Structure 1
Amino acid sequence: MIIIKILVNQGTALLGAYFLYQLIATFIPVKENQFLQLLLFFINFVAISLPIYPNDATNVCFIFLFFSAAFLLFLKGSIIHKISLVLSLYPFIVALNFLLEDIGMRIWLAGGKMLALDYFLHGTAHLLRGLIWYGMYRFFSYSLPYAKTQIPAKLWLILDFICLTPLIAMISLIIFTPSDARMIYPAAFACILTSICSLYMTGHIAKSFRYKLENQSLQMQKEYYQELEGNQKQLRKIHHDMNNHFSVMLNLMREEQPEQAEEYLANLTKQHSHANHIFCKNSIVNAVLNAKYQMMQDYQIKCSMQLDIDTLITIDDISLCSLFGNTLDNAIEAAKDAAKKEITLKARYYNGFFSYEIKNTKNEEIQKKGNRFFSTKEQPDEHGIGLQAVKSIVESYDGTLDITYDDKRFSVVVLISDI
């Protein structure tokens, strides 16, 4: 009977560790190594099962060090994302473990220290952990995946500073617990609530940025289809008037006026020279490319595009739209004032690999501070935002971003694998 009770208790604890693992993997992918995945799961199990007692500096530090090390070593992606997740989850884990252990201990002492009551309390605590982590996973699994791609680095820092408050408070209260541990119950509940709110705020901000990008994408598609409709109307009008155009050119040729006929034909061709191009079968990317292509024509920038991404399935449309749009905006901004105005774009998806390269000429000197590039735009709020967004997208797909430049050219190369 005792063995059965132990197995049941540990089984419910494993359930909680499983949902914590799934929550972590939803936010940041785990490295594709079965040993590391199993080790991370075990550390999660220890973290949510380890009892926290008053004045328990050892266990508090143990959880923090191993939990942080596991995130930094076993997860993919940016360090700031890993740190943010630790700061959000750690106070929650410690506060929950302390409350369950201390309240259970008080109930056991009040109940006469019975062995059956001890098993019951431990089983109830593990069951509550499993249910709580299941609820956390279900509640945040739909919003957190967008966080790592949509939230800028500065905003991550602000969120981290907010999470430092419950982190420091919980560590201090556990290490320096007053004689009556019940005095820190309100603070522990406040830390749990703060952790939940910080995760909710992270997901809410990410979804807000996501909706903004989606609205931009939809606006581009709307403009694309409006322009396409206008071109079709113009082509129908030209087709309707085609006999008249042929008659005019035929009369000019009969009257031996080839120069006038050539000029008339050139004007006729110019009327539908702005027709939309089909760069690829992805309608969103095509909308972006048509809009940017028209800008390049207006600035008289020589453009070369080679695309083979018709079967692309690795990157979602919103991220793909942002990648093309931001890099093309930067390239146009730099090339429009260059002595030799040129932009070359290549994109391909082959054998599970997406490659993207864009090169542009430039005149302005590159401004760089650390890993961040600064544009020549007049609005200071827009400096470097485009490349920062591209960097976030590439990191979210565990890809590589290579930026090179010299006195005359600037190049961005992206490689993403879905293998």
Structure 2
Amino acid sequence: MKISSVETLYCSAGWRNLSFLKVSTDAGLVGWAEFPENHINGVLSPLVRHLGQQLIGEDPRRVQPLVDRLRRASWGVPFGAVARSIGALENALVDIKAKSLDVPAYELIGGMIRDRIRMYWSHCGSYHVTNWKDLGVPRITSLDDVKALGRKVRESGYHALKTNLMMFDKAEPYMYRPGFAGGSGDPDRNPTRAAIAAAVDQMTAFREGAGADIGIKLDINFNFRPEGYLRMARALQPLDLDWLEIDNFSAAAVAQVRRGSRIPIASCETLSGCRQLRPYLEQEAVDVAIIDVPWNGILESMRMAALADAFEINVATHNFCGPIATLMSAHFCAAVPNFRVMEMDVVQVPWTNDLITQAPVIEDGHMRLPAGPGWGADVNEEALKAHPPVATKH
């Protein structure tokens, strides 16, 4: 069996596009992966195709030797976009190998430990502010709406939710996100008193709506520096958050926040591989290490999880994308021993499950993987064509 072609395909997911990788073989088997690139304006696609061309004519079942070759070919730029492109190719090769053996992908990484995967409702409320028209959901404009959404999470059977910082101090609601280009808030990433007060009010509303038994998490991304994260954590401490999620490329800075916070700290979702994760573990920077399976590749993700396990740290998945990314993340969650929880965007465009040939079953906030080899589903190319990609501002 030889790799005959490497292609990238796209479709609209409302306000953003989803990017898929298709690796075909001369034996008729096809491997699929999904590689999120909407924050960097599609720059992963040419990298994925360029690196993929180096695999034409190779046996796709030799996953580790091929991935190692790509890494050795890119030692000068081992992290970031290159690592994410290699991760996409690794995932597609794993899909092919599992199909060639007629087994689910999780059998290649040790076998299934759990058949019901615990998930939390991610971007809860956030998309109701920014993308409610695309998603066909009610707009959130007040804390009363936040409270009502918390009740909906509980009634839907999810054990936990995660949100981002919403602001209601202007005529139109908006997201507080100075850590991102074009985002609102102090561009020097100093938290205003209004933002801290809004975070307390928002999480209080979620707690009142969801009740005491539902976990609540707040993701404040790259929006502050350590001093700002600490001020936010201290203000939120009485609300019993599951975790405060932060991003920073300094392990020492994240460790400083963890030492000064009574709220558990989750981080690491943007890191590439064991080499970038290691200092966060050595410096005791996190309570939960978040791993992105589409970006890292499922084999490297398992190595990262094993490294975290050696430090008695549980792992969660970073998963904000489409249905193939969700399946890849779920196979990792099914097999990893030190599992905490899987992230899931519950609110998505109506055609999301049309994009794959077999959707997973989700009941009471838990996912059951579809039966079948590989990821358990392929991409429905006709559905992609029915929803062509849109122009984006990212």
TM-score range, shorter chain: under 0.3
Q: Normalising to structure 1: TM-score of the pair?
A: 0.19
Higher RCO (CA < 8 A, seq sep 6+): 2
More helix by share: 1
**Max Rg structure:** 1
Q: TM-score, structure 2 length as denominator? A: 0.20
Please identify which structure carries the higher strand content.
2
